[in-house]
Chain A
Amino acid sequence: MSSSSDLWVLDVWKGYRPDEPVLRGVNLSVPAGSLSAVLGLSGCGKTTLLRAIAGFERTQRGRIALGTRTLDDGHICVAPERRGIGYVPQEGALFPNLTVQANIAFGLSRAERRGKIVDELLELVGLARLARRFPHQLSGGEQQRVALARALARRPEVILLDEPFSSLDASLRTAVREEVSALLRRQGATTVLVTHDQEEALSLADSVAVLRDGVIVQQGTPAELYTRPADERLAGFLGSLNLLEANFEDEWAHTVLGRLRLHPDPNRAPNLKRGVVIVRPEQLRVSPGEEPADGLPGTVEQCSYYGHDALLHIRPKEGHGEDTLIARVRGEKALPAGTAVLLTARGSVSAVG
């Protein structure tokens, strides 16, 4: 891999119609050698952002730079073929008239094509025996790996992946996903992965940036995002949750579940007395029975069993809050509806809104 540089996206604006910008000042930094995910619902502008980085769209304002090299600042706009940025679109987009080998060699010079690069890449993605096949003779996962090898062939500084796994079957997706991310890490490639799948973003990326309505609402490590989301919507997008009303006192929140420690957050107003905290389902501990007395008494209303774990919907006993709470328990601890339980919470929580 070539010495990679950081990728910077600074206050980038882009729209197709004058008064409807798709990107409204996007800021994103991708450190060299890291895998960053851009997570967002469809229509939030994530593909536009990726295409602007690749050079297929011009930005209207702002700056995109690779290390010290400006790629696009509204005046200068480096052509896609001169950026040194590899692009893997949805469904691979292999050239249907070329073999696997010719696809991978597409961007190489004549001399490079004669060398070992193509063979090495075929070896790397484990498709050496399919070199002479045509794209339509490959499975979805194989096509995806060829598309990746093709993008890697020119040793680009950055690789862009546009929802690369969404067209794969669920059974295949996890395996291809892990393979690809392991491969990219071995290569030390700087990677931007665009996805709408929060599980994919959290499990693969070093850093996740959440794009909503054309702006990045939060960028951080997967753990930061999950435990300390910027707002309630984002929290809900990243996984199921319970929202509890709370009275704040120093670093503590008083809720129906008792006293819970708050994550340190420098942005929280110190004089805030009341608010809402997020408690993830896996933070709830469920014990059958009505004793001991410290804990929230309730009844299992519904149980969704997934094998490895189960989600319990628990209705608190009268006088202990209104809303149903969701708790995640290990599969073998699943309880039938109607069971009386006691709920306690563990770990720290964060306040929102």
Chain B
Amino acid sequence: MSTLAPPKPGARRGLLRALSQRRRPPLVTTFGAAIAAALVLLPLVFLVIEAQQSGWGVVSRILFRHETAMLLWNTFRLVVACTALCAVIGVAAAWCVERTSIPARRVWAVLLVLPLGVPDFVVGFGWVSLEPSLQGYLAAVLIMTLSLYPLVYLPAVAGLAGVDPALEEVARSLGLGPWKVFWRVTLRQMLPAVLGGCLLVTLGLLAEYGAFEIVQYQTFTVAIFTEFKLGFDTAAACALSLVLVLLGVAVLAGEFNLVGHGRSSRSGPGARRPPARVRLGRFTLPALFALFALCALGVGVPIGSLIYWLIRGGSSTLPSASILTDTAHTALFSAAAATLATLLAIPVCAAAMRHRNRLTILIERLALLPQALPGLVVALGLVSFSVRYALPLYEGALELIVAYAILFLPLAVVGVRAGLANAPVYLEEVGRSLGRRPTSIWLRVTLPLIAPGLGVAFCLVFISSCTELTATLLLRPTGVNTLASQFWAYTSDFSYGAAAPYAGLMVLISAVPAYLLTRRMSTLALMRRR
């Protein structure tokens, strides 16, 4: 019996199909990736245009005035201190949890990541509302270190898990003591991961606005915001933004280089054993105390302060009914941005992973570039674009959603990449050899396989959008408030009691996807460890 069609000599359809076949990404992919790249470039291009319009003379006067040097110095000493502290705290905490006999490891593993769920400006609010004298450099270092150390802790945990215990055992057998082994073998192996985390901390510091405004510490972002919102000096804002972008891009370039050097030298298929844990013995109590102090300062103070203001504020100022609409706006904008960013990330990753060439790699890097772009900078670029060419978009909801999508595109890329890694291209090839058309294979095989990755991408972007402050302040539609913007309005008036419910809701709203995410992440981590 034959189910096959008889041969059709010289079928024209075959010719058309052949032209679009293999080695070149499908049209949808090319188109989608191009849009993503264009969106990322759009704000940057308009920053340059804006600066050019005001003339390079004006720009250079702004760039070479005394204040700019002061901003650079402020940024530099903050980055150095915070990054160093985050590195030490992150690595030490990761080692304690992953490699020692510390009690209640699972609890610590969760508590130590929690600061990521509380936006930096809420942490700033937490500290300053309790102790108004906390101002300036040291306050900024304290608050940013406590908010950002998980960015080193998480990669350090992953890095430690990736260190082959056999290497450490060999080093011991070669006569090195435990500390030397840690220094010369373990740390060396996890160094790329830790450095990557440090660069993320640096980028976070460059982009932060809210927390520095609260502790009155002048950095680039604070100065740009002031120039634009209060001084109405677009030229100065754009000129300073360009400096910030250059700094960010330099840091990001460092990170790309690190990623290229991740090496694993394990040969042979032998299964890897879990590492032996160091018995802490009489150091158990001090270690427990240190972790407790870290969590108390990083999570306890901000959350405690929120609760304090919720209780105290609850009696005097009831939150207005508009808090519900604000919540709805926040959820709506964030969900739309998360959908858009995920949809944009799919073609970018598909092109980069399946049709690897210079162009697709470049597009992927462009999609990761917003890591180095503060929300403020993207917002400024979009404002400039819409004022010039698309006035109806100016201060519309779409513009804010696009800004979020651009800003958090790198997070979406991370999630989608992980998803696509589960759907190797040969599965689609097998599907086609079984007589299925590409779309049907995509729906039945590829989509179900990458769905978890898409979920991760959506959650990551959603959480970040919910708690985004600067782009929201600049781009929110007139008369529309989100939780973040309303929180900020109250905090600026020192109405801490009225502000607290907004922060509380913000944390709650992002807690759901964050919970889903940690469960997904831990499954991923478990799978990798196996």
Give residues in A with beta carbon < 8 Å to B: 2-3, 51, 54-58, 67-70, 75-87, 89, 93, 95-98, 106-107, 150-151, 153-155, 157, 160
Contact = CB atoms under 8 A, between A and B. Distances in A.
Nearest to A97: B448
A84 B14 contact: no
Q: Is the interface of B mostly helix, strand, loop or mixed?
A: loop
Nearest to A154: B435
Given A81-B435, A85-B433, 9 more contacts: A55-B433, A58-B18, A58-B23, A79-B21, A79-B432, A81-B434, A107-B431, A157-B4, A160-B433
Contacts of B426: 89, 93
A78 B430 contact: no
Contacts of A80: 429, 432-433
A86 B10 CA distance: 23
B3 interface: yes
A2 B3 contact: yes
Given A76-B10, A89-B429, A95 B435 contact: no
5 nearest interchain CB pairs? Answer: A107-B434, A69-B7, A77-B18, A87-B433, A80-B432
Interface in B410-430: 422, 424, 426-427, 429-430
Nearest to A92: B430
Contacts, number: 103
Contacts of A93: 424, 426-427, 430
17 contacts: A2-B2, A56-B22, A58-B18, A58-B21, A76-B14, A77-B15, A77-B18, A77-B21, A79-B14, A79-B21, A81-B434, A86-B434, A96-B422, A97-B449, A106-B431, A106-B434, A155-B1
Interface residues of B, number: 33
Contacts of B445: 95, 97-98
Nearest to B430: A93
Contacts of A86: 433-434
A154 B434 CA distance: 7
A151 B21 CA distance: 22
A134 to B, nearest CB: 12
Contacts of B433: 54-55, 80-81, 83, 85-87, 151, 160
B2 A3 contact: yes
Contacts of B431: 95, 106-107
B449 A78 contact: no
A155 B3 contact: yes
A248 to B, nearest CB: 48
A81 B14 contact: no
Contact of B434 (A55, A68, A96, A151): A151
A87 B430 contact: yes
A54 B434 contact: no
A32 B21 CA distance: 28
A56 B433 CA distance: 9
B321 interface: no
Given A69-B7, A76-B14, A76-B18, A95 B2 contact: no
Contacts of B9: 70
Contact of B17 (A77, A85, A151): A77
Contacts of B15: 75-77
A107 B436 contact: yes
A97 B18 CA distance: 30
Contacts of A106: 431, 434, 436, 444
Contacts of B14: 76-79
Contacts of B61: none
Nearest to A107: B434
B427 A95 contact: yes
